[in-house]
Amino acid sequence: MATRAWSGTELEKRLRAVGAEEYHHRHPFHQLLHGGRLDLFQVQAWALNRAYYQSQIPVKDATLIARSEDPEFRRAWRRRLADHDGDLGEIGGYERWLALTDGLDLDRDLVTSAGAVLPATRFAVDAYVRFVRERPLVEAVASSLTELFAPEIISQRVSGMLAHYAFVPPESLAYFEARPPQARRDAAFALAYVKRYAKTRNCQDAVVAALRFKCSVLWAMLDALYYAYVMPGQVPPGAFMPQTPP
Amino acid sequence: MATRAWSGTELEKRLRAVGAEEYHHRHPFHQLLHGGRLDLFQVQAWALNRAYYQSQIPVKDATLIARSEDPEFRRAWRRRLADHDGDLGEIGGYERWLALTDGLDLDRDLVTSAGAVLPATRFAVDAYVRFVRERPLVEAVASSLTELFAPEIISQRVSGMLAHYAFVPPESLAYFEARPPQARRDAAFALAYVKRYAKTRNCQDAVVAALRFKCSVLWAMLDALYYAYVMPGQVPPGAFMPQTPP
C-alpha cells in the first residue's frame, strides 16, 4: 500500500522542521562561538576546519553540475561555482574565507594544505561530497537546503564575532556579508526543484532524509571541534595546535 | 632529488612507531572503558557504534579482494571474509559482535539497522571503506595494519570488561577470544606484503600515511563516543539514547 504523497507546501513544512530541529545553530559550539566565549586559538581552530568545508563546496557543486543532463539546471547551478571560486575581476567565497583565516593570523599554507584539520572534519565533509556524487539528483539537490537556514545564522555570526572578539578584524568578515543574498537565491532555486521533482512519498521521504543527512554533517563538524578544542587536552594526533598554549 | 628508500626493517619500525603514538589504545575513551569507569548505557553506545564498523569490515575486505589480479593474494585475503562473515557450520566475527550487543541487552534490529549510530561513526567508517576502494592497493593493504596492535588491546579489553562490568556476561565476549590469532596472522601477511611492494621512498611514505589514516578513523570514532556519551547532554539528533536515563 503506497503512502500518499505530500503537497509541495507540506513537503516544505517538513523540510523547514528538520532545520528547526537539527541545523547547527542549536549546537553548543555555535553558541560558545557567537556568545564570545571562545579564545583566539579556538576561533582559529573553527576557521581552519571550516576552511576545509569551504574548499570542498565548489567540488561538490561541480560534481552536481556534472550529473545533470539539463543545460538550464547546469547554468543555474553554475552561479554557485562562480560564487565560491570567483569570477572575472571578483574574488570568490573561498578567497573571502581565507581573508578571515588571515585576519585570525593563521598561516595560509597551513589552511590551504588542510594538513591540520581534524580527521572528523575531513570524514564529514568528504561524506557530503560523496553523497552528492552517489545519491539520486533530487536528493543531492535537497542536501544543499541547509542554505534555507543559513542567512539567519550568518547575521548572528557577524554581530556576535564583532561584538565579542577584539582579535577579529571587521574587514575579515567579508565572507559573511556576501553570503546571505547568494544563499537565499540558491535555497529558493533548490527548494523549487525539490518541490517539483519529489512527487512520490518515497522520494519525499528521501529528500527529507537528505537534508537531515546534511545537518548531521555540519553537526558532526561542531561536535569534533567542541571535543578537540573546548575540552582540555583532547586534540587528536596531527591536528591543529596553538604555537603557544592558549 | 629522490629520497633514499628505507630497508624493510626500517619501514616496519616506522609503521610500529605510528601504532605506538596514534593507535586508539591511548584514547581517553578506551581508558575509561577498560578501567571500568563507564555505565551500562555508555558501554551499549560503544558496542552499538562499533557494530557499524564490524558490519563494514567484510565490505572493506571484499572491496580489497576485488581490486587484486592475483589469485594467491585474493585467496589469502578471503580468509578475512570467512572470519567476519562466518563459514560452513561456523559463525563469524560480526555474529560474535552481535552476541556482545545481545549480552548488553541491545535490541538486534536497532544494532543491525545502524539507524542509531553516531553520524561521525558512519563518516569515519565509510571513509575507511572508500580509502580501500580508491587508494593504490599497497596503501589499502597498509591501512589494515592496525591489526599489528590489536591483540594486546583485545586482551586488555577482555580482562577489563570482566573485572569491572557485572552487566557483561562472560559468554558475550567470544568475539575477543577469536580475534587475536586471526589478527596476528592477517597482520603478518599484510606486513610482509607492504614490505615487499613498498620499495620506493614515496611509496613507503604513502603506506605510513595509510596506517596513520586508519588510526585516525579509529581515534575519531572514540572522540565521537566520548563527546556524545561521556559529556552530559551532547547526544546528536537521532543517535542512540537510553530507554531510561542512566
Nearest CA in chain B to A117: B216
Checking if the pLDDT of A56 tops 70, the result is: yes
In angstroms, the CA B44 to CA B118 distance is: 13
Q: Check CB contact of B236 with chain A, cutoff 8 Å.
A: yes
Helix (H/G/I), strand (E/B), else coil: B87: strand
C-beta of residue A82 within 8 angstroms of C-beta of residue A154: no
pLDDT in tens, A67-89: 998 989 999 999 999 999 998 78
Q: Dig out the grid coordinates for A150 from the structure.
A: 543559513
Give me the count of residues in chain A.
246
- The minimum CA-CA distance between B120 and chain A, rounded to whole Å, is 6
In angstroms, the CA A113 to CA B227 distance is: 27
User: Are residues B124 and A120, on separate chains, in Cβ contact within 8 Å?
Assistant: yes
State mean pLDDT over B87-104: 92
Q: Give the model's confidence band at A246: pLDDT under 50 very low, under 70 low, under 90 confident, else very high.
A: very low
State mean pLDDT over A183-211: 97
Q: Give the model's confidence band at A156: pLDDT under 50 very low, under 70 low, under 90 confident, else very high.
A: confident
Report yes or no for ipTM above 0.85. Answer: no
In angstroms, the CA B13 to CA B22 distance is: 14
Q: What pLDDT is recorded for position A243? A: 61
Checking if the pLDDT of A159 tops 90, the result is: no
pLDDT in tens, A96-108: 999 999 999 999 9
CB atoms within 10 A of CB A34: 19
Checking if the pLDDT of B157 tops 60, the result is: yes
C-beta of residue B108 within 8 angstroms of C-beta of residue B98: yes
Checking if the pLDDT of A213 tops 80, the result is: yes
User: Are residues A123 and B220, on separate chains, in Cβ contact within 8 Å?
Assistant: yes
Q: Which residues pair with B90 in a beta bridge?
A: B87
State mean pLDDT over B14-34: 95
Out of B21, B22, B223, the one facing A224 most closely (by C-beta) is B223
CB atoms within 10 A of CB B54: 22
pLDDT, mean over chain B: 93
Q: What CA–CA distances, in Å, run from A90 to A51, A86, A98, A222?
A: 19, 6, 15, 31
- The minimum CA-CA distance between B171 and chain A, rounded to whole Å, is 34
- As a 3-state breakdown, chain A gives helix, strand, coil percent values, each rounded to 5, of 75, 0, 25
DSSP B234: -
Which of the residue ranges A168-172, A202-206, B56-60, B88-92 would you say has the lowest mean pLDDT? B88-92
Checking if the pLDDT of A244 tops 60, the result is: no
Query: Burial of B245 by CB count in 10 Å (0-12 exposed, 13-18 middle, 19+ buried)?
Result: exposed
Q: Check CB contact of B32 with chain A, cutoff 8 Å.
A: no
B36: left (phi over 0), alpha (psi -120 to 50) or beta: left
C-beta of residue A46 within 8 angstroms of C-beta of residue A225: yes
pLDDT, mean over chain A: 93
Out of A127, A226, A231, the one facing B123 most closely (by C-beta) is A127
| Residue tagged 587508494 (cell numbers) | B135
B219 to chain A: which residues are within 8 Å by CB?
119, 236-237
Checking if the pLDDT of B245 tops 60, the result is: no
Closest to A124 (Cα-Cα) out of A194, A63, A78, A60: A60
Q: How many CB pairs under 8 A join A and B?
A: 93
Q: Give the model's confidence band at A245: pLDDT under 50 very low, under 70 low, under 90 confident, else very high.
A: very low
Helix (H), strand (E), coil (C) string for chain B: CCCCCCCHHHHHHHHHHHHHHHCHHHCHHHHHHHCCCCCHHHHHHHHHHHHHHHHHHHHHHHHHHHCCCCHHHHHHHHHHHHHHHCECCECCHHHHHHHHHHHCCCCHHHHHHCCCCCHHHHHHHHHHHHHHHHCCHHHHHHHHHHHHCHHHHHHHHHHHHHHHCCCCCHHHHHHHHHHHHHHHHHHHHHHHHHHHHCCCHHHHHHHHHHHHHHHHHHHHHHHHHHHHHHCCCCCCCCCCCCCCCC
A130 to chain B: which residues are within 8 Å by CB?
126, 130
